[in-house]
Structure formats: C-alpha cells, structure tokens
Amino acid sequence: WVVTAAHCTDGVNSVTVYLGSTVRTVAKVSHTVTSSSIYQHSGYNSNTLANDISLIKIPTVSYTAEIKAIRLPAISSSYSTYAGDYAIASGWGRAVDTGSVVSSLNYARLQVISNTVCAANYGNSIVTDKTICVSTTGGTSTCQGDTGGPL
C-alpha cells in the first residue's frame, strides 16, 4: 500500500508509483494501477482539504536496501500531537518558489508545531484535530510538487 494525499488522486484514471529511487524519472521499481486500486477517504473535501488522504494498492513489493516499509509510531503515541518533535519531509518539488520540480530527491527536517499556532495562520476550517503542522522557519519547507509525499 502507498499512502498519499487525496487531492493527488482525485479524479485520476490511473497512477504510476515509483519505488526506491532518488531520481524523479528513474524508478528501481514502478507499478501503474487504475482508479479501482485507489481508495480515497470517503469524507475528503476538496474545498477544505478535510480527510485529504488516499491509499493506493500496489502489487506485493520485495524489500531492498532502497525499498522498505514505513515505520509507524507506537500505538501508545497515537494521540500525541507531536508538537516539538522533528519530522522529515521529502520530495521532488520545487527548490524555490519560481523554479521547476527537481530531478534529485530532497528532504527537510521540520519541527512539528501545535495546531493552535498553525490555526492562527491558516484558520480553524483548515486546521483540525486530524491535522499535523510543521514550522517552516529559515526558508526550509516543502513546495509545489511535494504534496502527497512523506512526512
């Protein structure tokens, strides 16, 4: 399974999933699946981005040094806000606002902030108890082309 954002799969007929690559156009393994293998959250709202999550079912994958399952948090921390912790975001999105998407995978170490702080910037209709927000101080953040990627 692949976890991504619902706004990335909304209305698509098929998607191609690239696995194990740090170069955007060169996959170690790729799978193209049709919309019947895409499970978008039934409560997804494209206006507010509520429940902005999709699952993509792909064929069984053989794990390698480059392809591994994600490590989920312990169930005991499932109600944590993670505020103050650090998270890694990665993607092939723009490196600068006016640039193009990049060819090599980039990452950023970002501090998780409270939803109260986040809602002060984005509003309570966008930031809910299901939202996780990160600080983007010092010019480090995600950009267009990174959405749907891992945090």
Give residue-wise pLDDT tens across range 83-117: 999 999 999 999 888 889 999 999 999 999 999 99
Mean per-residue pLDDT of the chain: 92
Residue range 65-78: mean pLDDT, rounded: 86
| DSSP code, position 43 | T
CA–CA gap between residue 124 and residue 138 (Å, rounded):
25
Q: Where are the beta strands (DSSP E) in 12-142?
A: 14-19, 29-34, 38-40, 54-56, 86-91, 106-113, 133-134
pLDDT band at 126 (very low <50, low <70, confident <90, very high): confident
pLDDT band at 76 (very low <50, low <70, confident <90, very high): confident
Please check whether residue 7 is in contact with residue 147, taking contact to mean a CB–CB distance below 8 angstroms: yes
pLDDT at 142 over 80: yes
Amino acid letter, residue 33 = V
Please check whether residue 103 is in contact with residue 73, taking contact to mean a CB–CB distance below 8 angstroms: no
Please state the pTM of the whole predicted model.
0.87
The residue written with tokens 């006016």 in the block is 98
The upper half-sphere exposure of residue 28, i.e. CA atoms within 13 Å in the direction of its Cβ, equals 12
pLDDT band at 73 (very low <50, low <70, confident <90, very high): confident
pLDDT at 17 over 80: yes
Give the model's pLDDT for residue 35: 97
Please check whether residue 148 is in contact with residue 142, taking contact to mean a CB–CB distance below 8 angstroms: no
In order of their start, the domains of the chain are: 2-56 (2.40.10.10), 79-139 (2.40.10.10)
